[in-house]
Each structure stands twice: as structure tokens, then as C-alpha cells.
Chain A
Amino acid sequence: MKLTGKKTAPYRYLAPTIILMIVFMVIPICMVIGYSFVDGAVVSQNPEFVGLENYKTIFADSEYIGAISNTIIFVVVSVVAHLVLGMLFAMLLNSKYFGTRTKTIARVVYILPWVFTASVVAILWKLMLQPSGIVNYLLSVFPQISQNTEWLSNRSIALGVICFINIWCGYPFYMISILAGLQGISGDLYESAAIDGSTATKSFLHITIPQLKPILISIAMLDFIWTLQSFNVIWMLTGGGPVNSTETLSIYIYKKAFQKVDYSMAATAATILLVVCIFIAIFYVKQQKKVRE
């Protein structure tokens, strides 16, 4: 077979992409997986192969279990709240009761949190949530609710506050996606349902939701993966503290690698996270395939 022949043409077209993927994805991922099976990866001249020992150690680490627990709470609460809020705001913007100008202004206002970068979000909320910040100032008119609450420094509420901030900056993505889906649903369906005596709730449950299902599943899957890997906002707001109460898996991995210089354990945690993400990605791809069919 000639290298310049017709049969090799597709491979030649694909070659740049394949090379880039191998260099920037496959090799680093394989290296990280490899690190998870050795002790003293990166920092040792002769890392020792330890098999699955790192995996045994990590599952016995209470800090890791705490990070898993925090991550599950953070991801589930964020994704569900994103979905509910996104749906709510999308339906509001799709409603016929508001004029075009009102809708346009509302759309701009609602999407603002998504436009901000993580550092802006973190600085903004850190300033507002300071014990002497504007949130406590506004709440001071209700002394029974708050008295100089340390929103980010109180172990019992810090994770909840982080979830709230993540929800605030993530819901517009859902809103825009669902709004696009809502605008694609034919009005005839609702008219027919109304003629048959369907209530608004029934129309929502039996027309809106089924019509939006492919979009909802897709964005929920994507959001699940993104939230699972969320790092910047948490790191800049609390650094995983106080006393690891907001430490998610991404923070745990970062601390292991760059504070404790334990690249082997960091790679082990990262590999486990990779496996979880791969399962979700497979589910996502299958869902996309189903939609196309």
C-alpha cells in the first residue's frame, strides 16, 4: 500500500489530530495511571512498583473518604439545583406573559453569573460573605437570623455555602440550553392537550419534560462531570477548609500533589476519578447516540 495512496488518505487527514491527542491526552493519562502503581513517583530517582498498594492505602485514608463524601454532596446538590433553577428561569423567559424587552433584559441579567470567571466569582463572594461583609450587614436587620455569621469559616455551613455559590454561577448554562429546547417544542402539542382538558401540570409532565428529556440528560451528564472536577472556586474561597470541610476530590488531589508532594497518591486519586468520569462519559455518548437515532 502506497503511503500517498487513496487508502491512506483518511489516516493522513486524521494524523495531526491523532498525534495531538496522543501527545496531550493519551501519554499524560497513561503516565498518571502508571504513577498510581509506584511509590515515590516523580520525586524518587527509582520509584518502586507497589501494585495496588496505593489503592488500598487511599481507601483507608479518612481524609479521602471525607473528600468523596463532600464531592458527592457538592455534585448532587449542584446538579439538581442547577436543573431545577435552570428549568424555572427558562420557563419564565419562555413565558408569554412577559414582553420581548423584559425577556431580553432578564436574559442578560440571568446569564451574568455564568459570564464571570472563577476568580471573579470567588473574590466577589468572599468579599460579600466576610463576617463584616454586605451579606451580614443586610441580614443584621433580622438579628434572629444572623449575627456576624462566618459563612466560609464555619465548618457546619461552609460546604452548603460553596454549593450555593456553585449553583449561582452554574444555572445559566441550564437556563440557556433548556430555553432553546422549550422554543423548539411545537405549540400544537400544548393546544391539543388543552383541548383534551389537560392541566398546566399535566402538560408540563407529559409534554415539556419528555420533549426536553434528551437535552436534560445531556446537560446533566456534562454538568456532573464538570462539577466533579470543580476546583478553582473552592480553592480560592476556602482552600478546602475549614478543617477539610469543603475538601472535594479535586482539592484532595491538588493538595496531595503540590502541598504534600505525594504524586503517587495524587495519581491514584486522579485515576479513580478518571474511571468515574469515563463511566459517565460512556453513558453520555450512548445517550447522544440514542438521540441521533
Chain B
Amino acid sequence: MKLSTILKKGLAVGLMGIMVASLAACGGKEEGKTDAKTDAKTEDGGSDSKSSDVTLKFQQWWGAELPEGYLDDICAKYEEETGVKVELLTAPWADTKTAITAGATNGTIADIISVDGAWLSEFVDMGVLTDVGAAGVDSSLASDIWKVDGKGYVVPVLNFAYPMYVNMDILKDSGVDAIPTTWTELRDACKKITVAGNSAFALNLGTTNANGIQNVFMGTGWGSGISLKDDSGAYKTKDNAGLASLAEMFKGLYDDGSLYPGMSTLEESEMTSNFAAGNCAFTVASAATMSQFTDINFEATTIPVKDDFKDKSGICYASWAVGISDSCENKEEAAKFINYLLGGMDGKDGSASAGLAATMSAFPNSTVAEPDYSKAPKQFQAYYDLYKENYVINEFIGLPNASDVMTSMTNDLTTYLEGDIDSATLLTNWQGYLDEAGK
């Protein structure tokens, strides 16, 4: 063998040896460090020796929507108080479901996961979620816990109500004197607005994220006490007179040319930005979007109700909610963090929840949080009173395959509004989707 070859091979072997030794040394150091830490705590009494070694991974979309660093600060404060580190895995809402599903598949799922109401049933079926009560979440701290078959799996932290926003300048320009409160008034107002050359009512039936059927269509129905379910709690849309009247009301708006153009591909974000730009008179959107409407003269109110309806209105809501993954090795610690979000360290301090609510123009699900809305827009403060007078409802939460069912329902609603099927067929088709999902 030539000398140069020997040198080359020797160099390669030497480099490899150095790399292996470095890696081993790093591992050893880390191990040593951990051992030292554990030993120290054991000597101190060992009360929080377990907690301080725990790192909880929290998969959510909240960080992408909150002011930068807000959620990190909550986690840092929690770490200061407990020694438990909460590592945030932030992705946009649209990617979170995929991230959780992929994580569940390949065993990299986070310990705490934020869950949308439409995903609840699928995640329970997949065995992704664990019973939060059994893990140690204090149910007295939450006004509501989402359950499937009697077991609580997900705890809402914030509730986002869906008011109807009204562009007051468009109303004035169109000769509409007051915000409509009934369906007849709404239809008349929409006609006037359309005649004046403005767009009246936005209904988003795009299917990239088919939530218009929930937020706008059923949001209008829930406002008038119309339900997708019968008295026994089973989904019942076929021969549902209330739903038929609701569908006919929207058909009337469509036939009058009052619905915002391009509805069948309109997405929620486009609807909101169009309202913010002053292009539409009425939009149903999350209260959290209120801060975007800085350049228009608007009001936030409950959705007009059926003419003869006199009861309290149901207000559609969505939530920022959390569950604990079934494969989490520190379920107890994860539950403690959820309790902290709701009621602080002692179960009496709702400041974290209240702060989140005030920051996001949302309503806390915590029973001890008292948010300060004094800095919120006056429209939000006025709407908060309406929110307290009425009740929140979302019949799609916990529905199996909710996204799929909502997409199919949306497609049929478009077909109905365009006149290709009648309302009886629409409601029969919906019954089929809901029954199939139930299986």
C-alpha cells in the first residue's frame, strides 16, 4: 500500500474516531448534568424532582394568532413557578390537524394538543386523546368540557362568538334606518342595499374550509332556536320545518341577488377582508376579527331572528380548546398546565385565561377568569352584553367526520340556492350525511 493511501485512510479513520468520541462525550456530559440535577433535587427533599425534568410539548395554532411572544410568556411564567418547561409547537390552524394526525401516526405527537370542535370525534376515534378528568383536569375550573360518550376529552380555554357585523355607512347610504332584527327586516334591508348598488349579505360556501354552513347558515338558524337535532339529541334534518324555513330564507336572499357575489368559492378570510374593506353590509364572523375593522363604521350584533321568535338566541361559537394526547408520558403534568391556563396555580387565579380572552376579543371558558375588556372596541363591549344575555351553541362539535359532513352539506346548499334541488331534497341529503357520519 502506498504511503499516501495509508495517510488518507488514517486521516479518515482518525476523523471518524474524533466525531464518535465527541458525540459520546456530549451524551455523557448531558447525562452527567441530568444526574447531578436529579441528585441535587433529591437532596433538597425531592418534592419537585419529577416536575423539573419534565418538558411538555404543546401543539397549537394560538401562537400564530396571538401577539408575538404572548404565549411564550405564559409558558415561561409557568416554568418559573413549577419548573416544568412547556415547548410550543406552533403551526397555522389549517396545518394543525395534519400535524397532529401525522404525529399520532409516527409517534411524535405533542403532549398537549389544541383541538378544533370539528376534529374532536375523529381524534377520539383515532385514540389520540385521553380522558382529561382522569388525567387530573379540574372540571370546576371550566364552564364546559367537550365530551364523547360521556368522557371529557377536550377543554375549551377561549370561546369565540360569531356576531353579525353591520356596516352602518352602507345602511345609511341605502336608506336603511335601523339594524334589522328579524328575517323580514333583514330581507327588506338587503333588497334596499342591493338596489343602492352595494353588496348585502355574505355567505361563504367555499369548501377549502367549509365553515360557512356552520358559522353563517346554521349561526342564523341557531339564533332563532332552529336546530339540527331533535328533542332526543339525534341529528334530524329530514322534514325539519325550522331548517326548511331557514333554507327558504337564504334562497330568498339568493333570488333577490342579496348574497355577496362568488359565494360558492368564498372563504371566511375573504369574507372578513371584504367587510373590512367596506364592500359588504352584513357579515357573520368571529368576534376576534373585530380589531381588523379599523377603517369602517360598524356595529356588532346578534343575527336577526325569525319573525315570530321571542326566545333567547343561540350564538354560534368556536373555541381554542386543548386535550392531552393518549401517548403523553406526563399526563398529570399536562393536566396541571391546563388547570394553570384556566385557574392559575391555586385554581383561583384566572389571569392567564382572562388575559388571553381580552387579547383575542374572546370569552373565557374559565369559571374564575374576569377579563378586562375596557381597552376593547366599544362594539365588542356592547356585544359582550348581548353574549351574556343569550347562549352559545355549536351542534357540529363532536360530530363524527365533521369537516367532511360540512363540505357535503355546503355543496348541497349551493346546489339548492342555485335552484337545482328543492329544500326537501336538501334536508334529506343532509340527513343521509349525518346518519352516515354517525355510523
Which residues of chain A have a CB within 8 Å of any CB of chain B? Answer: 42-45, 130-132, 148, 150, 152-153, 155, 158, 235, 237-244, 255, 258-261
Q: Is the CB of B261 within 8 A of A240?
A: no
Q: Is the CB of A242 within 8 A of B205?
A: yes
A153/B261 contact (C-beta < 8 A), A132-B279, A235-B208, A239-B207 known = yes
Find B411's partner among A45, A235, A241 (CB 8 Å cutoff): A241
Chain B stretch 394-439: residues in CB contact (< 8 A) with chain A = 401, 403-404, 407, 411, 414-415, 418
CB of B32 closer than 8 Å to a CB of A: no
Residue of B with least CB distance to A241 = B207
Q: Is the CB of B261 within 8 A of A148?
A: yes
Q: Is the CB of B265 within 8 A of A152?
A: yes
CB of B98 closer than 8 Å to a CB of A: yes
Q: Is the CB of A131 within 8 A of B262?
A: yes
CB of B157 closer than 8 Å to a CB of A: no
Find B265's partner among A42, A148, A242, A255 (CB 8 Å cutoff): A242
Residue of A with least CB distance to B401 = A260
Q: What residues on B are CB-neighbors of A44 within 8 Å?
A: 126
Interface residue tally on B, bucketed by range: 20 to 34
Q: Is the CB of A242 within 8 A of B101?
A: no
Q: What residues on A are CB-neighbors of B97 within 8 Å?
A: 258
Q: Is the CB of A152 within 8 A of B207?
A: no
A243/B262 contact (C-beta < 8 A), A43-B101, A259-B403, A261-B122 known = no
Cα-based distance from A91 to B105 in the complex (angstroms): 53
Q: Is the CB of B207 within 8 A of A240?
A: yes
Chain B stretch 213-228: residues in CB contact (< 8 A) with chain A = none
Max chain B C-beta neighbours (<10 A), residue from A148, A235, A261: A261
CB of B125 closer than 8 Å to a CB of A: yes
A153/B263 contact (C-beta < 8 A), A42-B105, A235-B208, A243-B414 known = yes
A132/B261 contact (C-beta < 8 A), A43-B101, A258-B97, A259-B404 known = yes
B interface secondary structure, majority: helix
Cα-based distance from A84 to B403 in the complex (angstroms): 41
Residue of A with least CB distance to B126 = A43
CB of B145 closer than 8 Å to a CB of A: no
Q: What residues on B are CB-neighbors of A130 within 8 Å?
A: 261-262
A259/B261 contact (C-beta < 8 A), A42-B101, A43-B101, A242-B414 known = no
CB of B120 closer than 8 Å to a CB of A: no
Q: What residues on A are CB-neighbors of B415 within 8 Å?
A: 243
Q: Is the CB of B411 within 8 A of A243?
A: yes
Cα-based distance from A43 to B415 in the complex (angstroms): 32
Residue of B with least CB distance to A149 = B261
Shortest CB distance B348–A (Å): 40
Max chain A C-beta neighbours (<10 A), residue from B261, B265, B414, B418: B265
Shortest CB distance A43–B (Å): 5
Q: What residues on B are CB-neighbors of A243 within 8 Å?
A: 264, 411, 414-415
CB of B266 closer than 8 Å to a CB of A: yes
Residue of B with least CB distance to A158 = B265
Q: What residues on B are CB-neighbors of A244 within 8 Å?
A: 411
Please name 14 further chain A to chain B contacts, defined as beta carbons within 8 Å, in addition to the given A43-B126, A241-B265, sorted by A numbering. A43-B101, A43-B104, A43-B122, A43-B125, A130-B261, A131-B261, A131-B262, A150-B262, A239-B265, A243-B414, A258-B101, A259-B403, A259-B404, A259-B407
CB of B10 closer than 8 Å to a CB of A: no
Cα-based distance from A43 to B279 in the complex (angstroms): 43
Q: What residues on A are CB-neighbors of B266 within 8 Å?
A: 153
What 6 A-B pairs have minimum CB-CB distances, sorted nearest first? A239-B208, A242-B264, A131-B261, A153-B262, A260-B404, A153-B264
Q: What residues on B are CB-neighbors of A242 within 8 Å?
A: 205, 264-265, 414
CB of B371 closer than 8 Å to a CB of A: no
Q: What residues on B are CB-neighbors of A45 within 8 Å?
A: 127
Residue of B with least CB distance to A243 = B411
Chain B stretch 259-275: residues in CB contact (< 8 A) with chain A = 261-267
Cα-based distance from A53 to B104 in the complex (angstroms): 26
Q: What residues on B are CB-neighbors of A43 within 8 Å?
A: 101, 104-105, 122, 125-126
Max chain A C-beta neighbours (<10 A), residue from B101, B208, B414: B208
Cα-based distance from A248 to B411 in the complex (angstroms): 16
Listed A/B pairs (20) with beta-carbon separation below 8 Å = A43-B101, A132-B261, A152-B262, A152-B265, A153-B261, A155-B264, A235-B208, A237-B265, A238-B206, A241-B265, A241-B414, A242-B414, A243-B415, A258-B97, A258-B101, A259-B404, A260-B401, A260-B404, A261-B101, A261-B401
Residue of A with least CB distance to B407 = A259
Q: What residues on A are CB-neighbors of B279 within 8 Å?
A: 132
Shortest CB distance B436–A (Å): 12
Shortest CB distance A116–B (Å): 20
Q: Is the CB of A238 within 8 A of B265?
A: yes
Shortest CB distance A212–B (Å): 39
Q: What residues on B are CB-neighbors of A240 within 8 Å?
A: 207
Q: What residues on A are CB-neighbors of B101 within 8 Å?
A: 42-43, 258, 261
Q: What residues on B are CB-neighbors of A152 within 8 Å?
A: 262, 265
Q: What residues on A are CB-neighbors of B104 within 8 Å?
A: 43
Shortest CB distance B167–A (Å): 15
Max chain B C-beta neighbours (<10 A), residue from A43, A152, A237, A241: A241
Q: What residues on A are CB-neighbors of B207 within 8 Å?
A: 239-241
Shortest CB distance B148–A (Å): 15
Cα-based distance from A239 to B125 in the complex (angstroms): 27
Max chain B C-beta neighbours (<10 A), residue from A43, A240, A244: A43
Q: What residues on B are CB-neighbors of A237 within 8 Å?
A: 265
Q: What residues on A are CB-neighbors of B208 within 8 Å?
A: 235, 239, 241
Cα-based distance from A238 to B270 in the complex (angstroms): 12
Residue of B with least CB distance to A238 = B265
Chain B stretch 115-136: residues in CB contact (< 8 A) with chain A = 122, 125-127
Q: What residues on A are CB-neighbors of B264 within 8 Å?
A: 150, 153, 155, 241-243
Cα-based distance from A151 to B407 in the complex (angstroms): 21
Cα-based distance from A131 to B407 in the complex (angstroms): 23
Q: What residues on A are CB-neighbors of B403 within 8 Å?
A: 259-260
Residue of B with least CB distance to A44 = B126
Q: What residues on A are CB-neighbors of B127 within 8 Å?
A: 45
Q: Is the CB of B261 within 8 A of A241?
A: no
A239/B206 contact (C-beta < 8 A), A45-B127, A258-B98, A260-B403 known = yes
Max chain A C-beta neighbours (<10 A), residue from B122, B206, B279, B418: B206
Cα-based distance from A150 to B199 in the complex (angstroms): 14
Cα-based distance from A259 to B208 in the complex (angstroms): 9
Cα-based distance from A237 to B270 in the complex (angstroms): 12
A153/B265 contact (C-beta < 8 A), A243-B411, A258-B97 known = yes
Q: What residues on B are CB-neighbors of A260 within 8 Å?
A: 401, 403-404
